[in-house]
């Protein structure tokens, strides 16, 4: 996880691929968002437990330690966390994914079309 | 004739026939028969269900039923013993009907004598033996076909899974490359940002290249196109070389690494690059399938006539049932699949293929999921290096 946790993080990126989460984080920062990074579901839960809630979570599904499905299940167990919308960014194509039960507000397949993603992010992070 | 008594069941509603058969069988020379007699169709059916006799002698007329019905019942019950249908008067139609019901033979009671009866029983039993042997051969062939089909289905499943994993594993570096291009295009003004992004792009190109190389190695392994060039080498420096090649990955995962090499050389006839590759494959697995902060130990030593290379980790371990196909191409254990790692199910298959090309073997030890694992490469020891 990147060392700095902004006190008013807007977007939490959860992905086990270091360069992917770092570069996506950088893009979002350039766009003016604050960003927090987590390498798996467990780190993401730890983040939620120790920081002000993000406005949005960008969630990979297949990750070591704790995958995206398990993260989502635990996130929804806590009512205050459950409010945070989740956009799934998965490596799975539409035929093999198990995204129906995830109740995500969006689903993107990597490599993501960044303009579309930034548009969706803007909808959930603008005041 | 078998030495033990032949068990014969007579199903006949006429007590005189019971006596007749008993007398005839008693007169047969050189064979012992144990004759059991029942009178009714129902008794016959129950006896047949028990499948306890070697031969069934069944009268054509059995009250409301007939012998052919009973013989059909015999076949339905799966009783493999031969059946002989007996009739008081020869009838061609009954004979044909009996044949269709797969009666082994058809006997005319009027003409029976000990020689004819013995011969009919002997031939009937022999015929059934041949049929049984044929059936056994057919069953065994079917079993082999089923086994091969299962193997092919599994191979197909692994290949399908591999294709899905390959797609998945290529998508992350492609996404990162896409992010890099976006950053360079839209925000590449600062020199530091450009350099950082270029570094990242390089790493991702390496990753895609490694995936593609793995794919090609897998193809070579499957088509038998892998080649090695052997020479007399000391294993220890190769182990050091392999460890150094993987050090960055091990450190990235914050694992503790220990290396133990003997003072004396470990001579083997081997392709040095390929042995380094084998060690790297094992070390990469150890690094990837051990939670951060684990321990990895690498050692080389020898026993009687082998040189050994060991890689042990404190990682996710291997269930006993997962060990069976572990070295098969594209196989990934359920524990490994649960982790989105770079694993494609190629490394171990390739390692074993390469080691076997050196007349060696790869052994795996694990106390099960969560308890780490150890891979031991065993290579034939070569004589001391010629000076």
Q: Domain of A46: which CATH number?
A: 3.40.50.2300
Q: Is the model's pLDDT at A9 over the cut of 60?
A: no
Residue A112: list chain B partners with CB under 8 A.
175, 178
pLDDT in tens, A70-112: 999 999 999 999 999 999 998 765 444 566 678 899 888 888 8
The rounded distance, in Å, linking the Cα atoms of B259 and B268 is 19
pLDDT at residue number B189? 65
Q: Do A65 and B291 touch (CB under 8 A)?
A: yes
The rounded distance, in Å, linking the Cα atoms of B6 and B126 is 13
- Which domains are delineated in chain B? 6-112 (3.40.50.2300), 148-222 (1.10.287.130), 231-380 (3.30.565.10)
pLDDT at residue number B169? 82
The rounded distance, in Å, linking the Cα atoms of B194 and B34 is 98
pLDDT at residue number B63? 84
pLDDT at residue number A5? 39
Segment holding A87, helix H or strand E? strand A86-90
Counted domains in chain A: 1
Q: Roughly what angle, to the nearest 10 degrees, separates helices B114-187 and B15-27?
A: 90
Q: Which residues contact B205 (CB under 8 A, 6 or more apart)?
A: B173, B177
Q: Do B200 and A111 touch (CB under 8 A)?
A: no
CA distance B363 to chain A (A): 26
How many residues belong to chain A? Answer: 127
Residue B362: count other Cβ atoms within 10 Å of its Cβ.
21
Query: Model ipTM?
Result: 0.82
**Partners of residue A72 on adjacent β-strands:** none
- Asked if the structure places residue A25 within a domain, the reply is yes
pLDDT at residue number A3? 36
CA distance A25 to chain B (A): 10
Instruction: Choose the closest CB to B175 out of A20, A63, A92.
Output: A20
Torsion on CA atoms B337, B340, B346, B348, rounded to nearest 10: -70
Q: Please give the average pLDDT of every successive group of 10 residues along chain B, which has 387 residues.
A: 78 91 87 89 86 88 86 77 82 80 84 89 89 92 95 87 80 91 80 87 88 85 87 95 94 94 94 95 93 94 93 93 84 69 79 94 93 95 74
pLDDT at residue number A93? 56
HEC letters along B188-232: CCCHHHHHHHHHHHHHHHHHHHHHHHHHHHHHHHHCCCCCCCCEE
Domain ranges, residue A46: 11-125
The rounded distance, in Å, linking the Cα atoms of B191 and B216 is 37
pTM higher than the cut 0.80 = no
Q: Do the Cβ atoms of B117 and B154 come closer than 8 Å?
A: no
Q: How confident is the model at residue A27 (pLDDT cuts 50, 70, 90)?
A: very high
Segment holding B38, helix H or strand E? strand B33-38
Q: Is the model's pLDDT at A7 over the cut of 50?
A: no
pLDDT at residue number B371? 92
- Asked if the structure places residue A62 within a domain, the reply is yes
- Asked if the structure places residue A1 within a domain, the reply is no
């Amino acid at each position: 996880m990147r060392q700095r946790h902004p006190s008013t993080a807007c977007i939490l990126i959860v992905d086990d691929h270091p360069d992917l989460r770092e570069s996506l984080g950088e893009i979002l920062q350039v766009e003016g968002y604050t960003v927090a990074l987590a390498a798996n579901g467990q780190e993401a839960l730890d983040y939620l437990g120790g920081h002000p809630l993000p406005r949005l979570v960008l969630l990979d599904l297949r990750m070591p330690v704790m995958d995206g499905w398990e993260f989502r299940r635990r996130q929804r167990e806590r009512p205050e966390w459950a409010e945070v919308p989740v956009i799934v960014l998965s490596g799975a194509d539409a035929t093999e994914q198990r995204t129906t039960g995830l109740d995500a507000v969006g689903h993107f397949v990597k490599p993501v079309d960044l303009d579309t993603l930034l548009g969706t992010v803007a909808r959930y992070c603008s005041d | 004739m078998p030495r033990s008594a032949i068990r014969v069941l007579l199903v006949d509603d006429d007590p005189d026939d019971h006596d007749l058969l008993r007398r005839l069988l008693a007169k047969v020379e050189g064979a012992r028969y144990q004759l059991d007699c029942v009178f009714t169709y129902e008794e016959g059916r129950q006896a047949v269900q028990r499948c306890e006799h070697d031969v069934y002698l069944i009268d054509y007329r059995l009250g409301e039923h007939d012998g052919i019905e009973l013989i059909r019942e015999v076949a339905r019950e799966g009783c493999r013993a031969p059946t002989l249908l007996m009739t008081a008067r020869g009838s061609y139609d009954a004979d044909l009907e009996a044949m269709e019901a797969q009666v082994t033979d058809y006997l005319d009671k009027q003409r029976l004598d000990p020689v004819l009866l013995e011969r009919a029983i002997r031939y009937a039993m022999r015929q059934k033996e041949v049929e049984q042997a044929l059936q056994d051969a057919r069953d065994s062939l079917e079993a082999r076909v089923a086994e091969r089909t299962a193997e092919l289905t599994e191979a197909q499943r692994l290949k399908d899974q591999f294709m899905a994993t390959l797609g998945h594993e290529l998508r992350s570096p492609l996404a990162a490359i896409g992010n890099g291009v976006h950053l360079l295009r839209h925000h590449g003004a600062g020199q530091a940002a450009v350099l950082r992004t270029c570094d990242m792009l390089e790493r991702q190109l390496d990753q895609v290249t490694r995936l593609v190389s793995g794919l090609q190695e897998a193809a070579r392994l499957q088509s038998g196109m892998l080649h090695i060039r052997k020479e007399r080498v000391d294993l220890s420096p190769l182990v050091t070389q392999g460890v150094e090649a993987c050090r960055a990955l091990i450190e990235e995962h914050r694992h503790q690494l220990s290396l133990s090499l003997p003072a004396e050389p470990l001579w083997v006839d081997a392709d040095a690059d390929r042995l380094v590759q084998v060690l790297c494959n094992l070390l990469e697995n150890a690094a990837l399938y051990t939670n951060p902060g684990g321990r990895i130990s690498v050692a080389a030593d020898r026993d009687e006539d082998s040189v050994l290379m060991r890689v042990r980790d404190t990682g996710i371990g291997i269930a006993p049932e997962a060990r069976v196909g572990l070295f098969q191409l594209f196989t990934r254990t359920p524990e490994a699949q649960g982790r989105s790692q770079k694993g494609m199910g190629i490394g171990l298959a390739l390692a074993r293929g390469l080691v076997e090309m050196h007349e060696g073997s790869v052994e795996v030890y694990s106390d099960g999921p969560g308890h780490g694992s150890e891979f031991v490469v065993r290579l034939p020891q070569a004589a001391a290096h010629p000076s």
